[in-house]
Structure 1
């Protein structure tokens, strides 16, 4: 019995599954980022100050492409 073909098929399937999981995770992160930006957009200046942002910070954040995440907190 030749098991080399079975090993190659399993490896190939594992690679494809890993890529699919990575893509789905990236899409989830993009959706979360877009949702967070929409929520921040609804806040007034007083609430923005509470979370450490100004209106200009928010405008800059909203102008960024969806695939770029929020800057890391310092």
Structure 2
């Protein structure tokens, strides 16, 4: 399943473009990016639960593949 990369998020892009951030800012930026990734995975997997078998077939996923993806915790890619 395609996912949006937090690095392409315009809200985080300007921060990551800077060369010298203090250590605490680097850690905060890493944590923010992780939360954005986790939220994206959670939303994507929750959206899979609402798709019909016909819609899953349209996007090239079997119901078994969707079920396997849905069962993953949000922190697992």
Determine if the TM-score, normalized by the shorter chain, exceeds 0.5.
Answer: yes
Whether 1:16 and 2:50 are equivalent positions in the alignment is: no
- Aligned residue-pair number: 58
Query: Mind listing any 5+ residue stretches in structure 1 that lack a counterpart?
Result: 1-10, 70-74
Structure 1-normalised TM-score?
0.72
Q: Distance in 1 between matches of 2:67 and 2:52?
A: 13
The aligned residue for residue 57 of structure 2 is 49
1:42-74 deviation digits (Å, cap 9, x = unpaired): 0000100111101100111111111012xxxxx
Aligned residue for 2:36?
28
Structure whose CA Rg is larger: 1
Separation in 2, partners of 1:66, 1:28: 11
Alignment partner of 2:70 out of 62, 70, 73: 62
Q: Structure 2: 5+ residue runs without aligned partners?
A: 1-19
Q: Which runs of 4 or more aligned residues in structure 1 lie more than 6 Å from their structure 2 counterparts after TM superposition? A: none
